[in-house]
Amino acid sequence: MPSRLHRKLSLYAFAFWAFLISPAVSLTCTSQTFPSNDLYPHCLDLPTLSAFLHYSYDSANSTLSVAFFAPPSKPGGWIAWAINPTGTGMAGSQSLVAYRGSNGVVTVKTYDVASYGSIVQSKLSFDVWDTKAEEVNGVIRMFGKIKVPADLAAKGTVNQVWQVGPAVGANGALVKHEFLAPNLNAKATLDLSGAQGGVITTAGGGDSRLKKKNIHGILNGLSWGILFPLGVIIARYVKTFESADPAWFYLHVSCQLSAYVLGVAGWGTGLKLGSESKGFQFTSHRNIGIALFCLATIQIFALFLRPKKDHKYRFYWNIYHHGIGYSVIILGILNVFKGLNMLKPGKKWESGYIAAIATLGGIALFLEAVTWIIVIRRKSSLSSKA
């Protein structure tokens, strides 16, 4: 009796796991099956976005047959597989895109990705036929045949790019995908013959760009977002204590100069990223960054133009110095949040920065109250002496 019960439990457990691990979401391409009679002698477990590629190539007529599997980033989203005849990234690629239409049918459309800002539904630069798609357990499976251009067929390799997105707008407009490491690294060189596992090289530029983005974000967050506000707090509140003079001044200058150096380094990194990303346009973030650099540079000159306390122009210098200083703080914090929204490093980083700014704000409020008490008492003492 116990052995019979044990066999039944084992059978149920096996059926349960077989149900969970369906062919559509298998961990390897070799375990995936097809409802049709299409044969694909080569398959790849693509390194990002939980994607798989099955393919066959007929060198006699330069025909590439593909079956691309991937889950959209969100339900109702899209998947894309493309050949880039001129480069290694998405810009310039000729793409097959599959998504579920408003009629509930999963269809395949062709998109010419002239640039990251120009993604239009149109015919491709090479022939495509026998396209179809289906959705199984949240995974879209896209099929098609491609006439490989003569120059690429002669090389025996093509630059492939794949991607997934969250939604499809009106008239087939693709909603922008994420720009995280898995998305940026979704590209490789495909060996049409299937030698060396099919993938000759996986482009590593995404890792380098991600490191640059992280450096850019850290430098700017620390400079514009933390050190500049801290320097203003030192100048506004610490100098109220007579015993802190002139130490507060040197602390203030050191803090602001350090912030400026880090900010310029972060600004330069941003310019480098912009020059390498012709198709990406983050206009407001870029314009605020340029404004910050200009204002901070003008602010540095305040150190050399600073008149003595009793000089007749000291009043106007104070207006110029304080006005630019507070403008830098406001724009800096705003741009840090814009950068976090673009880079999407994770909720903990945004929460950490919010906590840092909230802490500085709390310290400023506390010192504001203390400063007013000290100033009022000082004035009261002077008036009683008079």
**What whole-number percentage of the chain has pLDDT above 90?**
10
Containing 14, the helix (H) or strand (E) segment is: helix 2-20
The full set of domain ranges for the chain reads 23-203, 207-385
Please give the Cα distance from 239 to 188 (Å, whole number).
Answer: 59
Instruction: Decide the pairing of beta strands 52-58 and 157-165.
Output: unpaired
Label each residue of 369-382 as H, E or C. Answer: HHHHHHHHHHHHHH
CATH number of 207-385: 1.20.120.1770
Computed over every residue of the chain, the mean pLDDT equals 80
Predicted pLDDT at 92: 80
CATH number of 23-203: 2.60.40
23-203 matches 207-385 in fold: no
Give residue-wise pLDDT tens across range 14-50: 444 343 334 334 466 777 776 655 667 888 888 888 8
Q: Which tokens in the block code for residue 34?
A: 């097809």
DSSP 176: P
Give residue-wise pLDDT tens across range 52-101: 999 888 888 889 999 999 999 888 888 989 888 888 778 788 888 989 88
Count of positions (residues) in the chain: 386
Q: In the structure, what pLDDT confidence band is assigned to residue 145 with cuts at 50, 70 and 90?
A: very high
pTM, entire model: 0.50
Predicted pLDDT at 340: 83
Of residues 112, 321, 338, the one with CA closest to residue 217: 338
Question: Can you tell me whether residue 382 is helix, strand or coil?
Answer: helix
Predicted pLDDT at 210: 64
What count of Cα atoms within 13 Å lies in the side-chain half-sphere of residue 328?
30
CB 284 within 8 A of CB 337: no
Predicted pLDDT at 284: 84
Of residues 235, 248, 237, 250, the one with CA closest to residue 374: 237
Q: 307: cis peptide before it, omega within 30°?
A: no
Mean pLDDT value of segment 193-222: 65
For the cut 60, the answer to whether the pLDDT of residue 350 exceeds it is: yes
